[in-house]
A = this chain, B = another copy of it.
């Protein structure tokens, strides 16, 4: 690849290491970057460095944040007695976008996966149990609807139940707007099992 400048090659190489960026997109991105106004490149580069340096885990819910406590854990308008357990900060963001959830969160940063060698000690479970020592009315388990997510949900519910705290799981079924014809069988059966009276 010495037909490009070595600087461009180095940049392309660095970009290719990012997830979801192949050789072609790295090339396109690199050429875009060198044609951007210099101050924009500096701003982009600095926001990477700064985010990496300053972002940390919320002391309470372990989401990613700039401060000791995240805005949700700090908020007085949220119900701190209801905790939704999610796998990642992106899942938290997905529920926040609905704008309807009033409780707080707990981010596990992963899910139990015997296959990948991820055990209960590898996710933020101990920290969740510690939070339950304070007054909590309900723990809503919103891990993914995958093998790992389900395993984690089962594990957590068994762990919490002896304490008498209410443990719930978000519903599984046909997505809104979903055409039955195109929904997989497992989902269809889940939707049937979880049917509610009208």
Contacts and interface: CB of A to CB of B under 8 A. Distances in A.
Interface of A: 1-8, 10-11, 14-15, 17-21, 25, 27-34, 36, 38, 40-55, 64-67, 70-72, 88-90, 92-93, 96
A71 B3 contact: yes
A45 B17 CA distance: 13
A192 to B, nearest CB: 31
B29 A20 contact: yes
B45 A7 contact: no
A33 B45 contact: no
A52 B21 CA distance: 20
21 contacts: A2-B71, A3-B71, A3-B72, A3-B92, A3-B96, A4-B89, A5-B65, A7-B54, A8-B51, A8-B55, A17-B44, A19-B29, A19-B32, A20-B25, A20-B28, A31-B89, A33-B52, A34-B55, A38-B53, A44-B45, A45-B45
Contacts of A54: 5, 7
Given A17-B44, A33-B51, A45-B48, 6 more contacts: A3-B93, A3-B96, A31-B88, A33-B48, A33-B52, A45-B46
A126 to B, nearest CB: 21
Main secondary structure on chain A at its contact with chain B? helix
A54 B34 CA distance: 9
A4 to B, nearest CB: 6
Contacts of A29: 18-21
Contacts of A27: 90, 93
A11 B55 CA distance: 11
Q: Which 4 A-B pairs have the closest CB atoms?
A: A45-B45, A3-B96, A41-B52, A5-B66
A43 B20 contact: no
A119 to B, nearest CB: 20
A187 to B, nearest CB: 22
